[in-house]
């Protein structure tokens, strides 16, 4: 069954949706959309370093994405606004990554595949990395779910409950770095933030509890992956962007539904 490239692509898309859904919910609640985008942009530098050092692209992307997120966390409040830091670091990392890729001699690289994804070229090994990373993210978020919710609701309440908000921020940072690394092959660095944010935002009007939102976001993300791949196959359009387009249409429908209920 896994010899069929569409089957592998579908499983990859669903795997990324499972990783992005619970994390994306916290990104929406904490208004960290640009933070996720910046971390994703940094991953292209990780790809370049991985290829030059001949190490796993997953490991390189995780390391650089994590370094970016930690740098932003440490520098915030030291004279620079969060959005300014994110803008500088995100675009700088992307630019340095693209320049670094151009210096790689003797290595053939399809840059567009890393920018916009190449889900149809997912291999069995890629599937193992994607689902392994997704399982790790889900386990990590599930382990810290209550503490993450408390620190998201109020830092004062978190301290009163003997929870360190900075530690929970680091948990989210690690989960974000892993998600970025596993999603590169599916939607590319330029669309990773969309898969984090759009399914979660689409699920918000349909749910009443945080747990319901995370599960619904996973269902919307998985359905968007399946429908987007089908549309790409029929219409001969890019697979990664097609998946995001389907998720965006679901968001539009849930927003309209919310408006009608109001």
93 lies in a domain?
A: yes
Which residues of the chain are under the pLDDT cut of 70? Answer: 1-3, 76-82, 105-111, 262
d(CA 235, CA 212): 33
Residue 160 lies in a domain: yes
Whole-model pTM: value is: 0.85
Residue 115 inside a domain? The answer is: yes
Count of structural domains within the chain: 1
Radius of gyration of the chain (CA): 18
Q: pLDDT, tens digit, for every residue of 120-149?
A: 888 888 888 889 988 999 999 989 899 999
Q: Is residue 86 part of a domain?
A: yes
Q: Does any domain span residue 257?
A: no
Tell whether the torsion through CA atoms of 38, 40, 46 and 51 is positive or negative.
negative
Range of 96's domain?
5-190
In a domain, 177, yes or no: yes
Q: Is residue 24 part of a domain?
A: yes
Q: What is the pLDDT of residue 247?
A: 93
The CA-based diameter of the chain, rounded to the nearest angstrom, is 59
Mean pLDDT in the chain? Answer: 83
Q: What are the tens digits of pLDDT across the range 62-73?
A: 888 778 777 777
Q: Is residue 250 part of a domain?
A: no
- Cα–Cα nearest to 48, from 1, 96, 6, 89: 96
Looking up residue 107, the CATH number of its domain turns out to be: 1.10.3470.10
Q: Which two tokens stand for residue 48?
A: 């370049």
């Amino acid at each position: 069954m896994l010899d069929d490239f569409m089957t592998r692509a579908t499983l990859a898309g669903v795997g990324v949706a499972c990783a992005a859904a619970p994390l994306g919910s916290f990104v929406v609640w904490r208004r960290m959309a640009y933070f996720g985008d910046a971390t994703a942009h940094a991953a292209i530098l990780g790809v370049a370093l991985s290829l030059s050092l001949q190490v796993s692209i997953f490991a390189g992307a995780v390391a650089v994405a994590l370094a970016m997120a930690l740098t932003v966390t440490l520098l915030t409040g030291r004279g620079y606004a969060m959005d300014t830091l994110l803008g500088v670091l995100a675009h700088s990392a992307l630019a340095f990554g693209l320049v670094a890729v151009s210096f790689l001699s003797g290595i053939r690289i399809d840059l567009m595949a890393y920018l916009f994804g190449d889900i149809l070229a997912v291999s069995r090994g890629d599937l193992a990395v994607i689902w392994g990373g997704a399982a790790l993210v889900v386990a990590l978020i599930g382990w810290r779910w209550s503490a993450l919710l408390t620190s998201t609701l109020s830092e004062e309440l978190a301290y009163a409950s003997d929870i360190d908000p900075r530690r929970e921020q680091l948990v989210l940072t690690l989960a974000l770095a892993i998600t970025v690394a596993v999603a590169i092959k599916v939607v590319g660095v330029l669309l990773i933030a969309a898969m984090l944010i759009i399914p979660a935002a689409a699920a918000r009007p349909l749910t009443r509890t945080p747990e319901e939102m995370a599960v619904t976001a996973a269902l919307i993300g998985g359905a968007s992956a399946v429908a987007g791949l089908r549309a790409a196959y029929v219409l001969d359009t890019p697979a990664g962007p097609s998946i995001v387009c389907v998720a965006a249409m679901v968001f539009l429908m849930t927003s309209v539904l919310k408006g009608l209920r109001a």
